[in-house]
Chain A
Amino acid sequence: DAGVIQSPRHEVTEMGQEVTLRCKPISGHNSLFWYRQTMMRGLELLIYFNNNVPIDDSGMPEDRFSAKMPNASFSTLKIQPSEPRDSAVYFCASRDRAGETQYFGPGTRLLVL
């Protein structure tokens, strides 16, 4: 099992540019979570999908952030336009139907200059 896969692993971009982060959950898992981690705010839940449907997006900071899950094996988190305060590590995690454990991906380190 390859685990949760995220790409890119590192992203450096300039303010105002569009950023797209990608996640492939563990096969068979039906819940997917996007988190943002910073020193100041810790680990924050951005959005939660269940069976490809967004269930809770109350953590999405503002309209510049959007997330999609077009199928069970792929999700994207998009920031447009990006700002320096978006610099953080973004984690994707997945959970299976019967379990309780969330398995995290390796994260994407985003730096917005």
Chain B
Amino acid sequence: GENVEQHPSTLSVQEGDSAVIKCTYSDSASNYFPWYKQELGKRPQLIIDIRSNVGEKKDQRIAVTLNKTAKHFSLHITETQPEDSAVYFCAARTGYSTLTFGKGTMLLVSP
């Protein structure tokens, strides 16, 4: 089955800095890669996703890049704000079935 590795496990940045979270996946047939944000005590919520036929996608301060050859994808957050502090999960899906999640990255943005 699919295996998703996520790094780093924790990331501390100053407000206004950029943050980058990286994930690798094992199944070359995976075709959908969402990112979820989970605030403390809350549910995971989708923030951005990318499909295998696209190399990059942006939505305001967040962007995701995908390198199919290397089987890795990354989340980029620019101009970080304290409200960006949360745990971020990457995931990969093969076909139209289930998601395999990474272990998560705790992002702390200090004012």
- A residues within 8 Å of B by Cβ? 33, 42-43, 45, 48, 55-56, 91, 100-107
Contacts and interface: CB of A to CB of B under 8 A. Distances in A.
Contacts of B103: 42
Interface string B35-54: 00000001111100100000
15 contacts: A33-B98, A42-B101, A42-B102, A42-B103, A43-B89, A43-B101, A45-B98, A45-B99, A56-B98, A100-B32, A100-B93, A102-B34, A102-B99, A104-B44, A104-B45
A91 B44 contact: yes
Contacts of A55: 97
B59 to A, nearest CB: 14
Residue among B32, B46, B93, B102 having the largest count of chain A Cβ atoms under 10 Å: B46
3 smallest beta-carbon distances between A and B, as pairs: A104-B43, A42-B103, A43-B101
Nearest to A56: B98
A107 B44 CA distance: 10
A103 B45 CA distance: 7
Contacts of B101: 42-43
Given A48-B97, A91-B43, A104-B45, A43 B104 contact: yes
Given A42-B102, A42-B103, A101 B46 contact: yes
A43 B104 CA distance: 9
A102 B38 CA distance: 14
Nearest to B100: A45
Contacts of A33: 98
Contacts of B46: 101-103
Contact of B43 (A48, A100, A101, A106): A106
A91 B42 CA distance: 10
Interface string B4-29: 00000000000000000000000000
Nearest to B44: A104
A107 B102 CA distance: 19
A105 B44 CA distance: 9
A29 to B, nearest CB: 14
Given A42-B89, A100-B32, 6 more contacts: A43-B44, A56-B97, A91-B43, A100-B49, A106-B42, A107-B43
